[in-house]
Amino acid sequence: MGIRKRLVGSYLLVILTAVIILVAILITAVNYYYYHNIERILVQQAELSASFYEQYFKDADLEQQAPHLLQGFSHHFAGQVQIISSAGRLLEDSSGLQPGQSMLGYLDVRKAAAGKAGLWRGLDPAAEEEVMAVSYPLLTGSKVVGAVRFVTSLQETKETVRQIAAILIGTGLIVVLIVAAVGVLLSRTITQSITGLKHAAEQIADGDYGARAEKQYDDELGALADTLNVMAGKIQQHDRLKNDFISSVSHELRSPLTSIKGWVVTLKTSRLNGKVRLEEGLDIIESEADRLTGLVDELLDFSKLEDGRMVLSRSPLHLADFLGRIGQQLRPRAERQGILLEVKAAERLPVIWGDENRLKQVMINLLDNALKFTERGGTITILARPDEAEARVVVAIKDTGAGIPKDELPNLTQKFYKGNHKRGGSGLGLSISEQIVRLHQGQLKIHSELGKGTEVLIYLPSIEARPE
Ligand SMILES: Nc1ncnc2c1ncn2[C@@H]1O[C@H](COP(=O)(O)OP(=O)(O)OP(=O)(O)O)[C@@H](O)[C@H]1O
Ligand SMILES: [Mg+2]
């Protein structure tokens, strides 16, 4: 069942119940009011008549005085008046009913004969309509000598009550109809937003990540639309990153493979025509294979970091030695590129608690970037100094290279983010480095000025700060 039907259905059910209860209460009240009123009038008349009899006629013979009494009693009463003997026999009747018949069949008469006021409501056999009757004993001293009976037809009252009930029921129905119409309109505003959301969600599910849900109201559904849109935006961004990543990785894989393939072909043909450049070719094939392995390792590391499978194997690490070794390892490449590579470690550096291989990976990533973006004649400095106030060490890798535009700075550590340049790379280096530093409870910060150079700062806690 649609949500619209459910909403309207529940509106209707609630209002229908309320209207039915209300109408039922009103009809009962009207009913009670009318019949009670008639009863009150009858009883009043009967009481008045009985006390009148007691005052002025108690010594007279009832049977003889009956016609006079009847005249007096029916003077102010529109209905039927009867005088009944103590034996329950009809003596006089204002509607012309033949006297003589026994009235003991009526409950009110029997009660009056027993000395109490009696009330009866039922079908009158003569007129064949519903009537209400009140009988009152006529007393002489404490002896019941007869009864006076007031009877009135309920036909008119019944009709009035029926009309009022019809009006009430009709009004109730109109109210229900109006509420139903309003409910349909109101539910449309809700279902419209839901339908809009559903439509947008379906489009997104179908791969149209550019689809957006329209926010109609500032309520929960509006918030849901916002969430959906944020989600779609993220999916879109990830989708774009994934595509960029695939194309850059394929490109990265392709260039070493092309070069390996090229050299294999060269070696084959040069062997045929006798010019052997074996040494040079194998060197290049080896370095290209290393590049491929490096790239694949980077991808594996990345996936490990992503799902938290990377575990550090930490030991005490002396930074001065460590940085010296890295400097030595990269100096040949720096010399080849005509770049000066300096390592300046302060005398007394705190020992840190780190995973040597992972930190080496970080340093090589950062130095690779520095070497990649620095021109011939530039300088790269590795600087290490204690930051005693914080019980940590700062390692800075500073180059005099291209620098990074300000608007790119916040994106650098995002995975697969590459600046707008033609130099190779998968855009994972900084992202992986930052995560490794963070696993060491450290911090990585990048300062850069376009055209002047870049400085990457790594803060690592010293071994004293190690949580045990
Ligand atoms: N020292 C630097 N000088 C100028 N730009 C830099 C420097 N280091 C990083 N960048 C910019 O930051 C981007 C991201 O660097 P990152 O190391 O994450 O990726 P990459 O070097 O492009 O690829 P990879 O390191 O995976 O081979 C680079 O593409 C470059 O635009
Ligand atoms: Mg890099």
Rounded to 5 degrees, what are φ and ψ at 49? -65, -45
Contact predicate 370/404, CB 8 Å:
no
In short, whether 430's Cβ falls inside 6 Å of ligand 1 is yes
Which ligand has the shortest distance to the CA of 435? Answer: 1
Q: What b-and-e string marks burial along 90-117, b requiring 16 or more CB atoms within 10 Å of the CB?
A: bbbbbeeeebeeebeebebbbbbbeeeb
Give the Å distance between the CA of 185 and the centre of ligand 2.
Answer: 60
In short, whether 83's Cβ falls inside 6 Å of ligand 1 is no
Best of 361, 430, 436, 447 to mutate for ligand 1, by most ligand atoms within 8 A of CB? 430
Q: What's the rounded Cα separation, in Å, for the pair 216 and 252?
A: 47
In short, whether 294's Cβ falls inside 6 Å of ligand 1 is no
Q: Is the confidence at residue 459, as pLDDT, over 80?
A: yes
- Sign of the alpha-carbon dihedral angle for 187, 189, 190, 194: positive
In short, whether 401's Cβ falls inside 6 Å of ligand 1 is yes
pLDDT for 223 equals 93
Confidence band for 468, pLDDT divided at 50, 70 and 90:
low
Confidence band for 255, pLDDT divided at 50, 70 and 90:
confident
Q: What's the rounded Cα separation, in Å, for the pair 174 and 180?
A: 10
Point out the ligand 1 atom lying closest to the alpha carbon of residue 421. Answer: 31
Q: What's the rounded Cα separation, in Å, for the pair 295 and 287?
A: 12
Which ligand has the shortest distance to the CA of 416? Answer: 1
Q: What b-and-e string marks burial along 355-369, b requiring 16 or more CB atoms within 10 Å of the CB?
A: beebbbbbbbbbbeb
User: Which residue has its alpha carbon closest to ligand 1 atom 9?
Assistant: 369
pLDDT for 1 equals 62
pLDDT for 467 equals 64
Global pTM?
A: 0.54
Q: What's the rounded Cα separation, in Å, for the pair 229 and 236?
A: 10
Contact predicate 350/464, CB 8 Å:
yes
Q: Is the confidence at residue 245, as pLDDT, over 90?
A: no
Residues 6+ apart with CB under 8 A from 299: 249, 426, 428
Instruction: Give the tens place of pLDDT for each residue, 395-454.
Output: 999 999 999 999 998 888 877 788 877 777 778 889 899 999 999 999 999 999 999 999
Q: What is the mean pLDDT of residues 369-390?
A: 92
Confidence band for 272, pLDDT divided at 50, 70 and 90:
low
Q: Is the confidence at residue 81, as pLDDT, over 90?
A: yes
Give the Å distance between the CA of 48 and the centre of ligand 1.
Answer: 114
Point out the ligand 1 atom lying closest to the alpha carbon of residue 397. Answer: 1
Give the Å distance between the CA of 430 and the centre of ligand 1.
Answer: 7
Rg of the chain over all Cα atoms, to the nearest angstrom: 54
Instruction: Give the tens place of pLDDT for each residue, 174-232.
Output: 999 998 899 888 888 888 888 889 999 999 999 999 999 888 888 898 999 999 999 99
Which ligand has the shortest distance to the CA of 251? Answer: 1
Q: Report residue 241 as tokens.
A: 């990153």
In short, whether 404's Cβ falls inside 6 Å of ligand 1 is yes
In short, whether 418's Cβ falls inside 6 Å of ligand 1 is yes
Best of 255, 293, 369 to mutate for ligand 1, by most ligand atoms within 8 A of CB? 369
Rounded to 5 degrees, what are φ and ψ at 98? -60, 125
